Structure 1
Amino acid sequence: MVASQNHILRDCGYVLDAENAAETARLMLRDRLVNEAMGGVLPEGVEGLRLESILDLACGPGGWVLETAQGYPWAKVTGIDISETLVQYARAQAQVQGLSNARFEVMDLLEPLPLPDDHFDLINARDLTGLLTPATWPRVLHEAWRICRPGGILRLTEFERPISNGAAFMQLQELTRRAFQRTGRSFPPPSHHLGILPRLAALLREAGCGQIQQRAYVLDFSAGSEAHEALSRGYEVELWLSRPFLLDAGVTTPAEFDALYRRAILEMLDEDFAGLCYILTAWGKKVCPDPDFSERGAASSWPD
């Protein structure tokens, strides 16, 4: 058991199989649902700022980048991800949609990024909880701060585990929370949640951001809601793909998981099912230490 847990901690990667075709479809669908629930890709009032260069960290199959590139055709929108398979998928989608301002590159978020200082007007990151740990969050945000231009925006959007009236569904969420805690992925102290949402503003502040703001959203996937069928289908995929992670973390057995999974699927089909997903976005500006520094920052050496 200890060796298995150390393997998870050492890898510090995505807890699901990101290159699974079902996971790719789930991520694209969830991006669309979350954008709708939040009122767009950038509903927090940053539209008035000059957004010529935008970066999305751990972009996955590129859903947020593609929609942002479509809504901001004058901006150069870049997504980076460690998965070459997902980057190739995102590039194909951009080509099909005719989005010449959408660009995707293979990069490891946990390593120094080969990107110039003071370059991006907006750096976006969504749902990094499944990738980062309390130890790696500051490192990633420090690197994001480096490549963000003075006066530019760092923006984080994260999710807590969903809540519902389904007993088996909630048992699986509790197993996930315990697995995150056991593998060092949740923020202390131990509690009934992952601990990321209360930490977003502090993480941005520690990275060097000022003028920090937050906005909360809720996505209703109760029976009869607009998002019920699509999001329930998404959770069906997410829960199944979490099986290896939960087993490796030692929080459940194959027999227990399989029984809970079957019951949770039936619960989501029940006409009385109720479920909510909580979302928090926090954003702040990169504080420029030198008032004489050009608003655009240093000249970019990153090729167009």
Structure 2
Amino acid sequence: MKAFVIESGELKIRDMEEPKAGAGEVVVALRAAGLNRRDLGLVRRHGVKPEPLIIGSDGAGIIESVGAGVTGVSVGDEVIINPGLRWYNNSAAPPEEFDILGMPDHGTFAEKVVLSAEQVEKKPSYLSWEEAGSLALAALTGYRALFTKGELKKGDTVFIPGAGSGVATYLIQFAKNAGAKVIVTSRSEEKRERAKQVGADIAIDTASDWKQELAGETVDLVIDSVGRATFNRSLDVLKKGGRIVIFGATTEDNVDFNLRQFFYGQYQLFGSTMGSREELRAMLEHIEQHGTHSLVDKVFRLEEAQKAFDYLAEGRQFGKVVLRISE
């Protein structure tokens, strides 16, 4: 089968042996697979090992075969893949055995993938393959950050720096579904307008004076994945006693901030990473209840995976970048 792999420090399309389902496993014939920013760093993490590794965390497809002892799913079922391995119940932090599909295990940028039957969920029927194949990692990340950690409720105002990422597009929709007010930022006027079309109430220029722009607004919750470039600016617009949830750092990891100002303001700071299977299932119920769609920015064929990577690295997308594996 065709697959997009890291081999000896390079990304390439190559033939790989077709997987077979062992006990408790299923083989999924993939229709689509979504890219995530995590994928961009895997070449560095994998190094120059000669053994090819199929990367990719998100995907959706049809169960082609099942191994011994598998119950609850059958050949022909349309499924999405849960990329979070071995994290079943909602907990304050993932268990030690938690990992993400696509390193060290073979991932989804291939015609087929084998994995535990516990890692598949029924595909929402109203989603296209491209929408379903790019859903789980980003939507689950946003759901946990917004509801489990951020405790968003109806009437809250949430502030989201950076409007164009896949997670941000879910955050906007989920928050609006919950009856919250949504404020986002972007340097791109086009992305600000698209964010409003998705449901953002206010979209401001990232380069503007946030305190001035948001004078009169009461921000209850900040969901930030940018890092050093936005952390202190986000604190400046967060109400006293407000909550800030961090799930990523696309700029520098290390942040300096004034501890005295922080504890006098009695802010609440939370870290968040992906989520449990319990939260994934709650997220799927949420999107089906509200008819929420993934926002797919651009679709590439599997053979064009390098072009898809380059496009994602440029950061021009609004929503998800997807590989179409098969029709």
TM bucket (normalised to shorter chain) is 0.3 to 0.5
Higher relative strand content: 2
TM-score normalised to structure 2 length: 0.37
Higher relative helix content: 1
TM-score normalised to structure 1 length: 0.39
Q: Higher relative contact order at CA 8 Å, sep ≥6: structure 1 or structure 2? A: 1
